[in-house]
Amino acid sequence: MPHDYSKFTLPGADAASPTPAVSPLQAFGWQPFFAQQTSTDEMATHPPARVTEVHRSGLRVLGDGIDMILPPRADATVGDWLLIDHELPSASRLLERKSLIKRRAAGHEVKVQLIAANIDTAFIVTSCNADFNVARLERYIALTLEAGVTPVILITKADLCDDPATYAKTAEAISDRVTVVTLNARGEEPNVKLAPWCKPGQTIAFLGSSGVGKSTLTNALTGSEIAATQGIREDDAKGRHTTSHRQLHVLPGSCAVLDTPGVRELQLTDAETGVAEVFSDIDALSAQCRFNDCSHESEPGCAVLAALESGEIDAARLGRWRKLLAEDRHNTATLAQRRSRDKSFGKMVRQVKKIKGR
Ligand SMILES: Nc1nc2c(ncn2[C@@H]2O[C@H](COP(=O)(O)OP(=O)(O)OP(=O)(O)O)[C@@H](O)[C@H]2O)c(=O)[nH]1
Ligand SMILES: [Mg+2]
Ligand SMILES: [Zn+2]
């Protein structure tokens, strides 16, 4: 398992053409944004290390000559940078994030799950088969745009499909903010087609359902067999949930690659801006409605309904916009209520303690 993290070089570097080597920290995704939050002095005593895996028993962090497990902490997630306090590891300082991908956690309770921090590009992976679903892609794009991450739609299994261009066209129609790439994840294509986003020093993530090829892509980019992969079910093209936890892989010559488990259900929370960006045309129309609080259901002077009438916007797409907004608002409001309840509960506990102390 332990890799030699001391000899990172750019691909193609050899003695004849000395390409500048990427420093070990850069290879883990260290960028000026993080460096400016610390100093050379502080780094000498509190070296940076990156969270590559989160387990109930602790966080695995890797850095220049660092490979250790820190005590569990709820505020950190995969991709975070910490300045390690070797004397008191639990006091290691969490650096401010460049980006943060989060969702509503699965289950009945409304809770936030942090998925990944400091990702530069998120590849939203789907296949040329029954997995392909516009509504799901819209969700993922809203989530990543909200997070401050560049989304790229990646359609795999082009080699198994007669007409990958039709899938690409449908995906391209979702948003002009998003690039679409179609490929065969097995073989050489990933390294060529994803090169613009996958330079050493960058951090990328693969998100999407089970069986679409996230681990296959991880292996292709890292030039390894580091991630387990498994065939999908023939009858419905669903995967077998082979990857069980998020893991950031860093191998010489590649970018830092986050492989994630296939997600069954993706619910948004705190993603109003992201949703507005995906549906920017409808969002712009909604600002022109006569009433500020227009619900775009039946109000007079509703610009959204007028556009629907004139055929400027599509009814199914409008339906998806409504659904996403409603879901996001519901989850965001429930979370806000919970936070304020937890806050007043904490206040009450402190007051009781104070009274008891007297
Ligand atoms: N022919 C072909 N097979 C592919 C392609 N991408 C993935 N596969 C195959 O699809 C199966 C599932 O791939 P994985 O990489 O395990 O999928 P995953 O997204 O990591 O799935 P989970 O870990 O379950 O979330 C494997 O058998 C892969 O070899 C592709 O572009 N073309
Ligand atoms: Mg996998
Ligand atoms: Zn309206």
Task: Dig out the tokens for 93 from the structure.
Answer: 């300082």
Which residue bears the tokens 């050899």?
14
Taking alpha carbons only, the member of 223, 160, 237 closest to residue 194 is 223
The CATH architecture assigned to 100-259 reads 3-Layer(aba) Sandwich (3.40)
Nearest CA-CA partner of 279 in 246, 252, 307: 307
CA dihedral for 186, 189, 191, 196, sign (positive or negative): negative
The answer to whether the beta carbons of residues 237 and 130 sit under 8 Å apart is: yes
* Those residues with Cβ within 8 angstroms of residue 181's Cβ, 6 or more apart along the chain or in another chain: 152, 153, 154, 155, 193, 194
Hey, which residues does 295 pair with through a beta bridge?
none
Binding-site residues, ligand 1, Cβ < 6 A: 156-157, 159-160, 184-186, 210-216, 229-232, 239-243, 261-262
Distance 354 CA to ligand 1 centre (A): 58
Q: How far apart are CA 253 and CA 200, in angstroms?
A: 6
Res 61 pLDDT > 60: yes
The owner of tokens 């939203």 is 124
Place of tokens 């969270």: 51
Q: Which ligand is nearest to the CA of 313?
A: 3
Contact 333, 319 (CB under 8 A): no
User: What angle, 0 to 180 degrees and rounded to 10, lies between the N-to-C axes of helices 315-357 and 134-147?
Assistant: 50
Which ligand is closest to the CA of 300, given by its number?
3
CATH number among 1.10.40.50, 1.10.12.10, 3.40.50.720, 3.40.50.300, domain 272-357 = 1.10.40.50
Nearest-CA residue for atom 14 of ligand 1: 213
What's the pLDDT tens digit per position in 95-132? 999 999 999 888 888 889 999 999 999 999 999 999 99
Q: Which residue's C-alpha comes closest to atom 12 of ligand 1? A: 211
CATH number of the domain at 24-94, please?
Answer: 2.30.30
Determine the distance separating the centroid of ligand 3 and the alpha carbon of 320, expressed in angstroms. 16
Q: What pLDDT, on the 0 to 100 scale, is given for residue 20?
A: 53
State the pLDDT at residue 69.
Answer: 97
pLDDT band at 355, cuts 50/70/90? confident
DSSP-assigned beta bridge partners for residue 260: none
Each domain of the chain, given as residue ranges in start order, spans 24-94, 100-259, 272-357
- Given a cut of 80, whether residue 9 has pLDDT beyond it is no
